[in-house]
Chains A and B, each alone.
Chain A
């Protein structure tokens, strides 16, 4: 049963990660792939706060989200004042730099990883309760982002993304929109980090590196940028596929390379055959589905 639970939990967590990442990169058009570092910040902050009994675990998770929110603002404010590509570079620098730093801090486990993180809910209510918690939060995240992007705030984001100059000419503050969206997305990732930490109870700096960045990016791209359900489908497909392959009873010499080929293969196929992802988003924001536009 644990297997099914941990898959469901990882699917839930990756739905949260991919959706919040889509908010940043898809809806707001901010080019950053450092999303996992905010996931890591949330995980580590929550784990440390709970481990040292500073606060109860739910509060610790929230605090992880808040710290991730603040940290993302620290990256975004200076980086976004310039323009697009700088955020990419600054955020990767921030991601890799922080991972390096974490490896050298012995209080948080260093390169060897943080062990003995207290578990949450499982002991009193069973693992099922944690699955429910994660899936409910994943659902709420999707709905929240859907609500956010379809309201006035969403129209502002879309306008800013599609033509920043025109947006500024209307007297709007593009920096504020960018920083706040980046912060919200990162804060959500931080909370997901806390959820990861208190179920799997082991964190290692290296697991939040560029490999995870590419995994989340693949989920968003395969699922479909700027759609509410695209990241959900992406997370489902990319979490389940590697697992399904293990059930074909393949010899290890085939299994290994096959697993490795999935991610790269999928990205290539989608780049050429369906660049818009499984679900297509409207080209320009109208609040309507693509086929209804112009009707």
Chain B
């Protein structure tokens, strides 16, 4: 036991001297962590999402913060890589003593889950949609509907409303891709359709002609593509080059202006989902997008995701405010209790979110389609 203590205090001393500066500010502000990819292949999206969250934090602080105390966001890079994510999250918990942190990308969300549970710190997954995120433990919650919500909507809509009978599924071979592809296949079959091709491609692939030729040979009347934002445009371009003209559905990942810019005419007949209201649906969203255009000179990459990230600080602030009013210490344990007690949050850009018992959230799914070079609203499922 004695050796135990010497080691502990020795380590604490090292840490304390290292980080004396950052420990001082603790009592006067409320901190939360933000672990996102700032470098690497996913950085374009990670950076825009962090920017959205930063704006939100600024807004909150302008309006008085948490009962007069500032809300502080600690940003760390994950590179969307599990090991880097583990380091970042450990740092936020141990050094910055955050009670709650926000992260995304399924691999990272899963890798850091044991840390959240062990330290009793709330992990908010915002944007990752792998279905098993709901089963990662007591301290892992998502504010973003998991894959089954929008994939089910798009599969059901294709089979019932659009009357498609033969679907092909093409997916990226990672957690999100595989999980979502399974959900699509099962839902489409249940709705009376038939899945005539079910093909995977590698995460780092740049040529997709192999699986696409197989799909062409199967002659489907609709294709569901479950990929990442990075390579999906190429997949669609190659499909169109191979003379595949049937509608291609996908999920919220590809819903952005870049897709149309990259693909031009090849983007026609592409259907995506959005889990957040669009510019046409809400004046607040319109103001938000206008701000992007004005300050950054473009629309954000992955607009709906940035909407969710913009809303997350509001949710965190609401919980902190409640804790502050009651004079309860903002520990992870108390944060979780209070968050579940409030249960439903009304957020500016994405509407209401309710934390269900099973760690999932349900949201209406907006279907959007590229028509004449523009994303146009197609339908709303499950409102």
Contacts and interface: CB of A to CB of B under 8 A. Distances in A.
A113 interface: yes
B47 A253 contact: yes
Given A2-B94, A7-B87, A113 B110 contact: yes
Interface in B54-90: 54, 75-77, 81-83, 86-88, 90
B179 interface: yes
Interface string B16-47: 00110010000000000000001110010001
B130 to A, nearest CB: 7
Contact of B114 (A1, A3, A202, A204): A202
Contact of B11 (A4, A6, A104, A243): A4
Nearest to A215: B83
B26 to A, nearest CB: 15
Given A6-B90, A202-B110, A255-B75, A207 B4 contact: no
Interface size grouping (class) on chain B: 35 or more
B14 A204 contact: no
A78 interface: no
A290 interface: no
Interface in A119-140: 126, 128, 132
A255 B77 contact: yes
Interface of A: 1-7, 10, 100, 103-104, 110-113, 115, 126, 128, 132, 200-202, 204, 206-207, 243, 246-247, 249, 252-253, 255-257, 259-260
Interface string B138-178: 00000000000000000000000000000000000111011
26 contacts: A1-B11, A1-B12, A2-B119, A3-B15, A3-B93, A3-B94, A4-B15, A6-B87, A100-B202, A111-B178, A112-B106, A112-B132, A112-B174, A113-B110, A126-B4, A128-B8, A202-B86, A243-B91, A246-B88, A247-B19, A249-B22, A252-B38, A252-B47, A252-B54, A255-B38, A256-B38
Contact of A128 (B4, B82, B132, B173): B4
The DSSP consensus for interface residues of chain A is: helix
A257 B175 CA distance: 27
B7 interface: yes
B81 A207 contact: yes
Given A3-B91, A110-B178, A112-B179, A204 B38 contact: no
Contacts of B54: 252
Interface string B103-130: 0001100110111001100000000001
B111 A243 contact: no
A113 B175 contact: yes
Given A204-B82, A256-B38, A256-B43, A2 B115 contact: yes
Contacts of B19: 247
Which 3 A-B residue pairings sit nearest by Cβ, starting from the closest? Answer: A112-B175, A256-B38, A3-B94
Contact of B14 (A4, A10, A249): A4
B376 interface: no
Contacts of A112: 106-107, 110, 130, 132, 174-175, 178-179
B50 interface: yes
B353 interface: no
Contact of B90 (A3, A110, A252, A257): A3
Contacts of A200: 83, 86, 111, 114
Contacts of A3: 15, 87, 90-91, 93-95
Contacts of B18: 247
B87 A4 contact: no
A204 B111 contact: yes
